[in-house]
Structure 1
Amino acid sequence: MKRVVVGGLAAAGVVGAGIWLKRQVVQQALFAPEPDSQVPLVIPGRVAVERLYGGGDARTKVPLVLVLHGVGADETQLAPYMLSSRPMRLVLLRGGLATGNGFQWFRSRFKSNAAAFITDVSRAAAEVATVLDQIATQRLYTERIVIGYSQGAHIAWWLATTGRVDRVVAMSGALPPSFKPPRPTRQVRIEAVHGMRDPVIPYNAGQATARTFRAAGYPVRLTTQRLAGHGLSSMGTALAPALERVLTSNAAGLATSTLRGR
């Protein structure tokens, strides 16, 4: 079995020395050696990074936050943006398929054949759900939260329909119009974030996905980044507020769902 690998980060693409320094501090804290009290997390065949915020060890019961990166990246991509002072167990997972400059979760793209795309997303989502189950056998948690960006967000949207997660953050992702989410078997809050100038996953696609899920009975909040595109240089700062919302919100109090940014 393959143990979870803890790796370093490179501050690539960071604009401004002040921002770069801030992210370096965050990265160094995030990827510091595991404390002796932490039993290593084992996910067979996967590479991931685990970080426990708020103190404790493997027996500490806190929200489990699983993070899914975009195409051509790795498990470190979203780490600089996962900023919160609240207790949580953060697990940053690497996609299983290698690309020329990183990793991905599946091969098809949003603008390709819809049927093939949906098949690939569902398969990848099933694999991620298995990882969540593997973590659950080794760690206590209060709720399961999945955060995805771009290709990872496609998976996050899908996972919301499975009844296997409690909260979802989907940034710059969508599902095709042909996908019709089933009625939820439990209340799963979805925080969607999308840039209005996104050339990769058009904003109207993310908006349509949010509306479809809301019509099916899911509590959805869509936050529009009006001047943002697809990249993290414009979208990354919206991730921490979305994380904060799902960590602080009371799912039981979401009887009335909202859809914003229309």
Structure 2
Amino acid sequence: MALTDEQLERYSRHITLKEIGVRGQKKLLAAKVLIIGAGGLGAPTAMYLAAAGVGTIGIADCDNVELSNLQRQIIHTTNDVGKSKVQSAAEAIKALNPDVTVKNYHEYVNSKNIANMIADYDFIIDGADNFPTKFLINDACVLGHKPFCHAGILRFEGQLMTYVPDKSPCYRCIFEAPPPKDAVPSCREAGVIGAMAGIIGSMQALEAVKYITGQGELLTGSMLIFDGLKMEWRKIKLPKRVPTCPICGDNPTITEVFDEEQQTCSLG
């Protein structure tokens, strides 16, 4: 597949990079990334992956755009209030880059549909805002042998890590099970600075680009934590392997996906 003159111009800053070049850009155009959650994390991730020329982007979210979303969910605008988030996101992506094919999943992600949803994608983005969905994404990706990037944000802090099958610990290796209900406040309850979503979501996009092009070091075996008030980064080394992990350990007790509990629709 030869790049068109328009594509050579659009992606010229990528092509100039020796780590990307024409070959890497072609890999991006052929790649498929699924973003679960079109909210605070999913919004900047989707915009930067679309701008990068990822050929197919899936967006899964069953929520509609609310006015309170706009403080951080930059893929949506005031005119989008009331629209489904997947429709609003798809329109923004197509306006930014017509090269991109967008697949919308305006449905609640659960144990019954997630395996089929992730099956055709090369990389998964965890943009969920609740623990049961994050554990569901992890389990589906481990069982389906799919790489994914986890992230979470709250107040002025954010964290992210990347899982690659057979090469890194999974989310359950670090956090075996969700915390008790209401033990950790949600963004709705505790608040979140809007720019934190942009910082961490952009880094999720970068992890996806690096995975697709085979460049750089992924956050496999490490968790990156950012304190926005102190402007401090911490990179915590994770264990290479956790033999007692309930899903990827020596004697797994989780052999199929399940819903930890019923959740509301919101994914960010």
TM-score of the two chains, using structure 2 as the length reference: 0.36
Larger relative helix fraction: 2
Higher relative contact order (Cα pairs below 8 Å, separated by 6+ residues): 2
